[in-house]
Structure 1
């Protein structure tokens, strides 16, 4: 039971995770194994799902279990939890909290991680909303946002290519270097529902000139392949402002430290926009010595303990086409979740 309950977690979180269950009659928590890290898991439920959560949301889940045991309706449970959040007796789920789920049958997504984004809107975070359920069942799904603008808003992250994932084939590799149209090439890192609505631009750091190649209708903006770095990148349009400022300062002769400090000061002063908690970036690389298709979730200032995230690098696994997300730079302004995208036509294999 213990090992099965831990299956949704990445390996670096399993050994020290708590395993618990709720008493069906009282709703009280029963500890099956005491852990000492920042995640905890429930054994597989009758509906076939196994879930793990950050310990930071334990009080909220404990309250829900007690209310359900009292026989309250789902609407009444939601009202009581909202009231508890309002009076401070239960903390809201932090934006960016991670949940982990497995399922044993192939008629649903078998390995799924979920980032909680209460009340957030896709356009503010440069996120896709087109469902990837069918692609995920075929082993080739990419993340997408559900229930935007509600208290239950979240990012679905189907995990492809692992022993717990849906069985499917890896899509034939597309060589991005053969695509010469700058607009088509620039939008390659994006999911299909964002490709045709993204703005595409170029930027000359030496002159500070931004040139729009295609005006989009979304908040996502992409830049064509950078021959110096080898990357093609897309961000929320506000995300380019700080990057462009940094590039201009470097071109003017600033050191990297001084340029970064100037950008940070501009953000602090409100002169340029800050990176929103939970915003998503997209990156493509054309060779196998790095992660080819990588999405990055920004969680500035957050820690792994707060959000229930792993921190052990998955770079090697990602290069082999079976990487899972991990957090980098926790507790800093640059904290982010690395999300390697496996098994697509642009992924490592």
Structure 2
């Protein structure tokens, strides 16, 4: 895509873009080499259990190089230079694409056929969110890219920037960003930066307002609301009224600086009132859950991003958190193995916490 140019696509076309073309005929490496290459993009704990497949370019027939045991399916390097892994629910879709390509159908014809099959119930519809993985071995494209689909979501509803980080990611210090907002193909690009030996992250700034917005990408900082709470009353004190969807609080006593989507503001205001009354964390959590159950507080929407910054090196320094209530590793295609220590040491990858609960969320550590 050309920088700054807007594109729209239907859901089928978006899936084709994320999953990519099938391999071209070429000299075939050994089966073991293809398997190792195909799963390299995955976190270590998912590699051994992933299914690995290829497709015959002439017939579209699927060939299973290794039958896996987990929810992921991977393909060795394709004609476009990428390796890809995706949830096994997309296997039937890939099989259909392969058959159509073998029949010399155009990408537009394939997209239309996939869309029609989904509409007819012959293929599963894309879920509310799903992670896919893409690897590349040259410097002209992002080498380690995770992509989470969020169909029809917007920057405001998720709480994330649409400012492309492609160039920064090519240099090894990119941040996630949204593409195709508001369309069936909406997704968040999550470049996995190379490990860093010495962090360049800081939580220091000359004043409270500029410090509070440091967790955000630069293009969101100027428009963010900045506020804090009166510890005696729990009242919200607005330090700067913003113009976008982000709300930030200056560094707290625990050393964390947080930014949130404004949609979760009522929950935070409610919690602040309870803490001002001397309630414990457990009591606050229980009260928030009860209010949500009673309908007096809206639940955190699925696919809402928050941002956390920490100035020392004993915790993850820059962390993005995507709320995915009720999600499991299988349902969203993400490992639920804790990668905290790796993240603290500058080589973090996303993982799912509190799987299957209302508090389920994806931890997205940023290596910088």
Do the structures match in fold with TM over 0.5? Answer: yes
Provide the residue aligned with 2:7 in structure 1: none
Number of matched pairs = 335
Post-superposition offset of 1:81: 2.1
Give 3-state SS (helix, strand or coil) of 1:112's partner.
strand
Is the CA contact 1:56–1:308 (under 8 Å) kept in the aligned structure 2? no
Runs of 4+ in 1 over 4 A off after TM superposition: 169-172
SS at match of 1:239: helix
1-side partners of 2:312 and 2:263: how far apart?
28
**Where do residues 183-332 of structure 1 align in structure 2 (5 Å cutoff)?**
183-226=209-252, 228-332=253-357
Root-mean-square deviation (Å): 1.8
In the alignment, structure 1 residue 10 sits paired with structure 2 residue 37: no
Deviation at residue 65 of structure 1 after TM alignment? 2.6
Task: Provide structure 1 residue ranges, at least 5 long, that are not aligned to the other structure.
Answer: 163-168, 344-349
Partner of residue 133, structure 1: 166
1:26 and 1:271 map into 2 onto residues whose CA distance is 57
Contact 2:234 2:275 (C-alpha < 8 Å) held by counterparts: no
* More moved, 260-269 vs 45-54: 260-269
- Aligned-pair CA distance for 1:170: 7.3
Residues 270 and 285 of structure 1, relative CA distance in 2, 3 Å threshold: same
277-286 vs 50-59, which moves further: 50-59
1:156 aligns with 2:182: no
Shift of 1:311: 1.6
Give 1:57 shift.
2.5
Can you list the C-alpha shifts for 1:302-333, whole angstroms capped at 9, x where unaligned? Answer: 11011110122221111111111111111011
The offset of 1:192, in angstroms, is: 1.1
Q: Distance in 1 between matches of 2:201 and 2:115?
A: 48
Shift of 1:256: 3.5
Q: 1:268 to 1:79 in 2, by over 3 A?
A: farther
Q: Is the Cα–Cα contact under 8 Å of residues 301 and 332 in structure 1 kept in the other structure?
A: yes
| Residue 52 in structure 1 maps to residue 77 in structure 2 | no
User: Normalising by structure 1, what TM-score?
Assistant: 0.90
Displacement, 1:29? Answer: 2.1
Within 1, Cα distance between the matches of 2:326 and 2:231?
A: 28
Q: TM-score, normalised by structure 2?
A: 0.86
Decide whether aligned partners of structure 1 residues 170 and 135 sit closer, same or farther in structure 2, where only a CA change above 3 A counts: farther
